[in-house]
Amino acid sequence: MLTELAIRDFAIVDHLELELDGGMTAITGETGAGKSILLGALGLCLGERSDAGNVRHGQSRADLSARFDINALPAAREWLENRELPSEDCLLRRVVTKSGRSKAWINGQPVTIADLKSLGENLIEIHGQHAHQALLREETHLRLLDDLAGHRSSVMELAELYRQWQATRRKLKRLSEDGDELRARRQLLRYQVDELEQLALGDDELASLEEEQQNLAHAEMRLTESQFALNCCDSEEGGALPMLRQAMQRLSALPGSDKGSLANAIAMLGDASIQLEEAGRELGQLVANVELDPERLAWVEQRLSETHRIARKHHLSPEEIPALHQRLSQELAGLEGSDDDLEELSQEADTLKAHWRELAEKVSLSRQHAAKRFGTEVQQQLAFLAMGKARFEVEVCRRETAAPDGMDQVRFLIAANPGQPPRPLAKVASGGELSRISLAIQVIAAQHSTIPSLVFDEVDVGISGATAEIVGQLLRRLGHGGQVLTVTHLPQVAAQAHHHLHIQKQTEDDTALSRMALLDEAGRVGELARMLGGVTLSDQTLAHAREMLNASQGAQH
């Protein structure tokens, strides 16, 4: 429940810190005193839209915070834990600048405004003074019935099935309308991919082909020149090696004295002959290994030519062909089964529609059962609110077209007087009747809510007298075991509250400021007297107020 609310420089509040308890708390004050400010500040903490007008005149920003006890709110704790936020406590903070921009925090961690709103839905329910106007819209009727039925998860699943079904239908329609263009593109892609697959150029093949082409193209020249060099080294006729050997033999045959002076020359000739022998062996191996393969050369050159032709055709370098092949193949794969896709999408759409219809039937049956229960409970509350002769019904009928929330149209019908057939609220109920019907519906909705903190903002408008006392009793009963904050202008309602918060507008230094205080018993008597009798408080009015408070509090203990 809401335990603390802190407001600084918001509207006409300079600084306020409130501690709130469970039970029913009445919030009262003269018109314009600022009762709506309290709920406005709470609404901003819960993610409502902000603007520059929220900031008190002359200040740079408004700072608002609300603290909740979430021990009895597992959904709120789970929300925090799923986002790795501390879950032992729950403090929402909102800062609004005079430019209208705002920032938000949850437990000290920066969050989005959408996060505030999402978490806020698990913390507190606000029933506004204009709820009776919302009751004139049939979409409100459907939402309220679904909340009472407790099948919200099924309705969300229904909406998701509908979304998938419609998305599949749109895709199917698009594929059907674009059939000719897709077929032309598919035909072109098939030709291009077939051509690339026939080429089948590997990622590193181009460099290998170019190297091989160079080797094959120069093979005959290498063979000819290597054979010539080999002949120069070791030919019996004019080869360098035989001539060296002959020279060494003749020099070595000279007399001893002559040979001694030629020793170095003979040694160098020996070294040269060894080098020539090595060169000859190298050249011999090269000549033996050179392969002349004109057919392979022609194939390699043809493959290179085809590769460059395709590269020019697609306006890219030959090295980019493998990537092109992959890209076009993927695009073709996406379009290849488009005809099959049409059949597959058609079957998928039919399957989704069948699942949607099956779930919609279950939700519809649940709504029909809930409608009977809802009608009965509202009828009972109307009896408490002096409309015992009215007849309230919840009508569930089929729509002509499917919708995200199912196939049902829900309408609240009322026969305010005996002998009249039930008709839509907008066509039957007067302002006062609509206020009481709205209150009865909101009380029923609150009774079925899993959220213990409820706010009622002047939902008793148009109600007076004994009916107002019954309204107070209803709100007090809702506060048992939970928390009810109600903004009211009726003393009969305020007297029923466990706690009473008074809001008053004061002028300080020519500036209007709103002050709020939790009233003690004497203060409550005075405020009830003001609500009963206006500005001048007579002894009789004060006595009446004291009697009303004592009776209300004593009867409800």
| pLDDT tens, residue by residue, 249-300 | 888 877 765 666 788 888 888 888 888 888 878 877 776 666 666 777 788 7
Residues 6+ away with beta carbon under 8 Å from 38: 5, 7, 27, 487, 501, 503, 516
Six-digit token string for 526? 């005075």
- What is the average pLDDT across 417-425? 85
The rounded mean pLDDT for the chain is: 84
Query: Averaged over 334-340, what is the pLDDT?
Result: 67
**pLDDT confidence of residue 160:** 94
Comparing 55-59, 203-207, 410-414, the range with the smallest average pLDDT is: 203-207
pLDDT band, very low/low/confident/very high, at 223 (cuts 50, 70, 90):
low
> What is the pLDDT confidence band of residue 24, given thresholds at 50, 70 and 90?
very high
Residue type, 348: E
What is the per-residue pLDDT for 115? 94
Neighbours of 75 (CB within 10 A): 13
Q: Is the pLDDT of residue 131 over 70?
A: no
pLDDT number for residue 281: 82
pLDDT of residue 129: 58
Higher local confidence (pLDDT), 273 or 44:
44
pLDDT level of residue 7 (50, 70, 90 thresholds): very high
Rounded to two decimals, the pTM is 0.60
Amino acid at 150: G
Rounded to whole angstroms, how far apart are CA atoms 557 and 547? 16
Cα–Cα distance, 228 to 284 (Å, whole number): 11
Query: Based on the number of CB atoms within 10 Å of its own CB, is 282 exposed (0-12), middle (13-18) or buried (19 or more)?
Result: middle
Write down the pLDDT at residue 432.
Answer: 66
**Res 338: pLDDT:** 62
Stretch 10-36: mean pLDDT, rounded? 85
The CA-atom distances, in angstroms, between 279 and each of 125, 215, 370 are: 100, 22, 105
Q: Residue 114: pLDDT above 90?
A: yes
| Each residue's pLDDT tens digit, 46-79 | 999 888 888 988 899 999 999 999 988 888 999 9
Instruction: Write down the pLDDT at residue 61.
Output: 93
Question: Would you kindly state where each structural domain of the chain is located, as residue ranges?
Answer: 195-334
Q: How far apart are CA 91 and CA 510, in angstroms?
A: 34
- Indicate whether 521 pLDDT > 80: yes
CA neighbor of 385 nearest in space, from 459, 328, 484:
459
What's the DSSP call for residue 482? S
Looking at residue 337, what is its pLDDT?
Answer: 60
Does residue 233 have a pLDDT over 70? yes
What's the residue count for the chain?
557
C-alpha to C-alpha distance for 459 and 381, rounded to whole angstroms: 15
pLDDT at 23 over 80: yes
Lowest mean pLDDT among 171-175, 209-213, 287-291: 287-291
> Does pLDDT of 394 surpass 90?
yes
> For residue 116, which amino acid is it?
L
pLDDT digits (tens, 9 = 90+) for 492-513: 999 999 999 998 888 777 777 7
Confidence of residue 133 (pLDDT cuts 50, 70, 90): low
Name the packing angle between helices 321-336 and 179-199 (round to 10°): 140
Q: Residue 140: pLDDT band by 50, 70, 90 thresholds?
A: confident
CB of 126 closer than 8 Å to CB of 39: yes
Please report, rounded to a whole number, the percentage of residues in the chain having pLDDT higher than 90: 30
pLDDT band at 517 (very low <50, low <70, confident <90, very high): confident
Q: Given a cut of 80, is residue 206 above it in pLDDT?
A: yes
Confidence of residue 130 (pLDDT cuts 50, 70, 90): low
pLDDT tens-digit profile of 540-554? 889 999 999 998 876
